[in-house]
Amino acid sequence: MIENENKMPLLGDEFPKLSVQTTHGPLNLPEDMKGKWFVLFSHPADFTPVCTTEFVAFQKRYDEFEELGCQLVGLSVDQVFSHIKWTQWIKENLDVEIKFPIIAANDSVASALGMLHPHKGSNTVRAVFVVDPEGMVRLVLYYPQEVGRNIDEILRAVKALQVSDEKGVAMSANWPNNELLKDELIIPPATDEATAEERMNSGTCYDWWFCHKPND
């Protein structure tokens, strides 16, 4: 078994236990999120243009994440007072109220999550962790400081993970708008000859290893 030498969480790992201060008060992760999904995302710094557009975009989709039972949590190495002043600026100047908590991380917290990359300066990179109700890391994304995230893709990924867990299926590229399958779901490949032959006669397979079904 290969050990994770960097100590940063990988897919299938338990999210690291962290006690942090946020704009909504103290938060213990993942314990305080037990039973719900959450998306933790870091940004390089408050009062920066790209990060501001991201926070507005996350907030614009806040209700959609809430409908999925998914909490948003922001993070950077800025102090809480900076987060508070920045979110006040966003409300006053852009008429958007940031409703999710923002963590004021120290270097040890940022390092535990692999958010400090030596060649990208002292700020946290744009990391995204999607964590399930059991506290397990299900998706990890990293973006450089100069590229803003596609928030719709993060929302899509949470939806896809939830459907996959519920129905034991996989999702196609660009689901639910795939060029071949549209919103249909991919059935796991057959693991024996009888099932493979049965599926070939079902009319819902391109081949025995490539079968699909309606999303209903």
CA distances from 155 to 9, 57, 148, 160 (A): 21, 11, 15, 9
- Whole-number Å distance between alpha carbons of 6 and 181: 39
Catalytic residue status for 211:
no
Amino acid occupying residue 126: R
Residues whose CB falls within 8 Å of the CB of residue 131, separated by 6 or more in sequence, listed in order: 15, 30, 33, 37, 38, 39, 40, 137, 138
**Residue 196 token pair:** 């493979």
User: Which positions are annotated as active-site residues?
Assistant: 51
